[in-house]
């Protein structure tokens, strides 16, 4: 499918409190770089990376937003059209974890995804290299179960498990793309003989 029209572009949004490491995980994943120097993101920025997911070539467009409150209003229109949302917190900051519920709700309000109950959220606990941890793996997983999100943790600094959450975001984003974009074009309605509920995964 992707070979005829060029790569599919998937929009992945990174949100979470200021300083949790959103820009750092994006830079680690895309540019393989890390800096200890903190420069707060102003507004939004995106980086692209083309990867292969289950036979489809996709371009991941990763949108890095500002966690600082006074820049948040600039970011919210950019939530629209996202295929996946990555909620980032710092495992050494309970406050940054508690704030994710608000970030998620704001995303659902501003982003207006077509099917909010089925929209994919990836939760990423960053800074696992630090010893003063305040959020346990268990607590984070519990909340992820509640919101039907998927949990990953790692360290942008030490380059630990940064790739996995992005690959999963791409996979889940691709599912969203196929579900909504192809349904809109009528592809599934015309060709798919399966019951409507099971069409999302249809390959016919």
Interface ranges with ligand GTP (CB under 6 A): 18-24, 35-36, 38, 40-41, 66-68, 126-127, 129-130, 155-157
Q: How far is the CB of 65 from ligand GTP (least distance, A)?
A: 7
- Among ligand GTP, Mg ion, none, partner that 72 touches (CB below 5 to 8 angstroms by kind): none
Buried b (16+ CB within 10 A) or exposed e, 124-157: bbbbbeeeeeebeeeebbebbeeeebbbbbbbbb
Mention every residue, 6+ apart, whose C-beta is less than 8 A from residue 48.
30, 59, 60, 61, 62
Q: Are 82 and 12 in contact (CB under 8 A)?
A: yes
Q: Is 96 in the site for Mg ion (CB under 5 A)?
A: no
Phi/psi at 118 (5° precision): -110, 5
Among the listed ranges 28-36, 37-45, 91-99, 115-123, the one in contact with Mg ion (CB under 5 A) is: 37-45
Q: How far is the CB of 121 from Mg ion (least distance, A)?
A: 19
190 burial (CB, 10 Å; 0-12 / 13-18 / 19+) is: exposed
**Distance separating alpha carbons of residues 60 and 174, to the nearest angstrom:** 10
Q: How far is the CB of 201 from ligand GTP (least distance, A)?
A: 34
**Distance separating alpha carbons of residues 38 and 55, to the nearest angstrom:** 38
What residues between 63 and 92 interact with Mg ion by CB under 5 A? none
Q: How far is the CB of 7 from ligand GTP (least distance, A)?
A: 26
Q: Is 24 in the site for Mg ion (CB under 5 A)?
A: no
Q: How far is the CB of 15 from ligand GTP (least distance, A)?
A: 9
* Given 17, 41, 93, 171, the residue binding Mg ion (CB under 5 A): 41
- Among Mg ion, ligand GTP, none, partner that 21 touches (CB below 5 to 8 angstroms by kind): ligand GTP
What tokens appear for 187 in the block?
């592809």
- Among Mg ion, ligand GTP, none, partner that 179 touches (CB below 5 to 8 angstroms by kind): none
Of 198, 176, 68, 36, residue with least CA distance to 119: 176
Interface contacts to Mg ion, rule CB under 5 A? 22-23, 41
């Amino acid at each position: 499918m992707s070979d005829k029209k060029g790569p599919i572009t998937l929009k992945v949004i990174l949100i979470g409190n200021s300083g949790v490491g959103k820009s750092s995980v994006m830079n680690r994943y895309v540019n393989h770089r890390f800096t200890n120097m903190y420069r707060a993101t102003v507004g939004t920025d995106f980086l692209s990376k083309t990867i292969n997911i289950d036979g489809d070539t996709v371009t991941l467009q990763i949108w890095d937003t500002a966690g600082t409150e006074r820049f948040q209003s600039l970011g919210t229109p950019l939530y629209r059209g996202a295929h996946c949302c990555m909620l980032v917190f710092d495992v050494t900051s309970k406050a940054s974890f508690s704030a994710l519920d608000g970030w998620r709700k704001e995303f659902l309000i501003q982003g207006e995804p077509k099917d909010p109950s089925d929209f994919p959220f990836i939760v990423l606990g960053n800074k696992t290299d630090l010893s003063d941890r305040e959020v346990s793996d268990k607590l984070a997983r519990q909340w992820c179960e509640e919101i039907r999100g998927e949990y990953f943790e790692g360290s942008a600094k030490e380059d630990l498990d940064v790739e996995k959450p992005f690959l999963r975001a791409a996979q889940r984003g691709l599912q969203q793309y196929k579900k909504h974009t192809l349904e809109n074009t009528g592809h599934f309605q015309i060709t798919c003989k399966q019951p409507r509920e099971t069409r999302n995964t249809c390959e016919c």
